[in-house]
Amino acid sequence: MEDENELIALRRKKLEMLHAKGIEPFGTGFDVSGSIAEVREQFKEGETRHVAGRITAHRDMGKSHFLDLRDATGRIQIYLHAKEVGPELFELFRLLGHRRFHRGGGNMLSDQKRGNQR
C-alpha cells in the first residue's frame, strides 16, 4: 500500500510540474496519421507521421530514449534524442507517465541493422 501511495504522489508531482509549465496534460483533440499498423504499412523514410497509443516500454540511454508505443493494432518504437528536440522538450519528456496514453509525431526512420521501423 505504501508503494502505491508513493507512486500516486510521484504522479501528482509530475502533474503539478506540467501545470506549472503551462501544459494541459490531458490535452485536446489530435489528428493521427492512422493506427500504428497503418503507419507502419505506409512507412516512407523521412516522412512525418502522427500516432497515439500507450507507452509500454521506456529505455533511457542518457541523451537518447527509446519507447514502445502500442495501440490495438500493434507496436511502434519511438526514438527521441536531446539534440533533435532541444533541452526543454527533452526534459518535458521525462515527466510523461509510463503506461499512460500519449500522442506524438515525427519523422519515420528505419533501423538499418534489423530492418525495424521506428
User: Per the domain annotation, does 37 fall within a domain?
Assistant: yes
Confidence category of residue 38, pLDDT binned at 50, 70, 90 = very high
* Number of domains observed in the structure of the chain: 1
User: Per the domain annotation, does 59 fall within a domain?
Assistant: yes
- First vs last C-alpha separation in the chain: 37
Residue 116, beta-bridge partner list:
111
pLDDT at 72: 94
Confidence category of residue 11, pLDDT binned at 50, 70, 90 = confident
Helices marked H in 27-85: 36-41, 82-85
In percent, how much of the chain has pLDDT > 70? Answer: 76
Which one-letter DSSP state was computed for residue 97?
Answer: P
How many Å apart are CA 97 and CA 15, to the nearest integer? 9
User: Per the domain annotation, does 21 fall within a domain?
Assistant: no
Please write the tens of the pLDDT for every residue from 41-72.
988 888 888 888 888 888 888 888 888 889 99
User: Per the domain annotation, does 38 fall within a domain?
Assistant: yes
The range of the structural domain enclosing residue 65 comes to 32-117
